[in-house]
């Protein structure tokens, strides 16, 4: 894992911003810093016009985090997990129950609501993991490899759900090493490797600016001199 070196980003409200690069490039480190899980050794950052060092508690109320690792209790059902996490956000009563039902339904899991998480496939767990991070309607959502290790159906359902959240006003900051997925999903991206930003812009602009590039994979190879699949 690399440290972040002279790292500067300006992410606009309403964007779907992708941090793209191989495992160990610094993507998860950045997400962890922005969420307050890791303290930066230098520099500062502002979220929603709030300087984190002075407004950590206020910022934590408006962000949602979906980690790469499952943040679920395996012996509890999907419904029980989500009711628990919703209560941790201060949600309660019928509003919470309806939110859980609606989210499970949208992601195709309602009929499995009362099944234990330990019986779920990886793709199903990934979808419940996502719901747990957005029950409180965060203004800004951080996603660390939200589709890693899932089947095509689960990936498509997750991406569709995230697009719907974005349409409703949620700013999404998303890490991935799946460049083809990000090319279709993100409004803006930064290509990161070894803690350094190699390029930033819209997928279309980055492809247009790179000689003979047909897609983001070609852009990555041109910028870093290596194929992404060789460094994952």
- pLDDT tens, position by position, 103-140: 999 999 999 999 999 999 999 999 999 999 999 999 99
> Is residue 193 a part of any domain in this protein?
yes
* 226 is a domain residue: yes
How many independent structural domains does the chain possess? 1
CA pair distance 138, 59, nearest whole angstrom: 10
Cβ atoms 213, 222 nearer than 8 A: yes
Whether residue 127 is contained in a domain is answered as yes
**Domain CATH code at residue 53:** 3.40.50.300
Cα separation, 194 vs 82, whole angstroms: 36
Residue 96 domain boundaries: 16-230
Whether 159 is in a domain gets the answer yes
List the one residue out of 62, 81, 59 whose CA is nearest residue 70: 81
Neighbours of 42 (CB within 10 A): 5
Q: Considering the domain boundaries, does residue 1 fall inside one?
A: no
Q: pTM above 0.75?
A: yes
pLDDT in tens, 210-232: 999 999 989 988 887 765 544 44
Is 3 part of a structural domain of the chain? Answer: no
- Give the pair of three-digit tokens for residue 15: 């964007």
CB 173 within 8 Å of CB 17: yes
Give kind and range of the element (H or E) at residue 18.
strand 16-20
């Amino acid at each position: 894992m690399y440290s972040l070196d002279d790292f500067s980003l300006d992410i606009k409200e309403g964007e779907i911003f992708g941090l793209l690069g191989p495992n160990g490039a610094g993507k998860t480190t950045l997400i962890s810093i922005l969420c307050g899980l890791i303290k930066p050794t230098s520099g500062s950052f502002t979220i929603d016009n709030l300087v984190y060092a002075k407004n950590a508690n206020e910022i934590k109320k408006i962000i949602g985090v979906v980690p790469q690792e499952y943040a679920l209790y395996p012996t509890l059902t999907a419904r029980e997990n989500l009711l628990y996490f919703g209560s941790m956000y201060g949600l309660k009563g019928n509003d919470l129950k309806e939110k859980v039902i609606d989210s499970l339904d949208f992601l195709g899991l309602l009929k499995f609501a009362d099944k234990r998480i330990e019986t779920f496939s990886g793709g199903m767990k990934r979808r419940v993991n996502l719901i747990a991070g957005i029950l409180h309607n965060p203004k800004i959502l951080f996603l660390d490899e939200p589709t890693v290790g899932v089947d095509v159906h689960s990936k498509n359902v997750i991406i569709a759900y995230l697009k719907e959240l974005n349409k409703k006003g949620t700013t999404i900051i998303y890490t991935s090493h799946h460049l083809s997925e990000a090319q279709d999903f993100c409004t803006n991206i930064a290509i990161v490797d070894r803690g350094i930003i190699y390029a930033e812009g819209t997928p279309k602009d980055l492809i247009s600016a790179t000689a003979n590039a047909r897609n983001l994979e070609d852009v990555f190879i041109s910028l870093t001199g290596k194929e992404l699949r060789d460094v994952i």
